[in-house]
């Protein structure tokens, strides 16, 4: 079993992903920098969790499209 993401994390991640779908890649480190640019996240831990969830969204969306 993995860690459970809160509604705040999921909501922020999905909003960022919908707005900037083309910029996000399936690389966590690149997404971490992009999240910092696009949103004002209060803590480093929260930024990393959001970037990780966005990376997961990108990978699953890419599998669905292909």
Domain residue ranges of the chain, discontinuous segments joined by +: 7-65
Kindly report the backbone phi and psi dihedral angles of residue 24, in degrees, each rounded to the nearest multiple of 5, phi listed first: -75, 140
If we measure between CA atoms, which residue out of 22, 18, 21, 10 comes closest to residue 46? Answer: 10
User: Residue 20: is its pLDDT beyond 70?
Assistant: yes
If we measure between CA atoms, which residue out of 1, 36, 42 comes closest to residue 54? Answer: 36
For 9-30, what is the mean pLDDT?
94
For 14-36, what is the mean pLDDT?
95
The span from the CA of 40 to the CA of 66, in Å, is: 33
Give pTM, 2 decimals: 0.88
- Identify the pLDDT of residue 4: 83
Alpha-helical segments (H) within the chain: 7-19, 28-38, 44-65
User: Residue 3: is its pLDDT beyond 90?
Assistant: no
Q: What is the pLDDT of residues 28-41, one digit of tens each?
A: 999 999 999 999 99
Specify the CATH class of 7-65 in words. mainly alpha
Alpha-helical segments (H) within 20-43: 28-38
């Amino acid at each position: 079993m993995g860690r459970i993401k809160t509604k705040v994390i999921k909501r922020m991640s999905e909003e960022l992903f919908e707005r900037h779908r083309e910029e996000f890649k399936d690389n966590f480190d690149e997404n971490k920098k992009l999240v910092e640019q696009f949103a004002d996240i209060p803590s480093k831990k929260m930024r990393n969790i959001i970037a990780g969830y966005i990376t997961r969204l990108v990978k699953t969306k890419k599998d669905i499209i292909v």
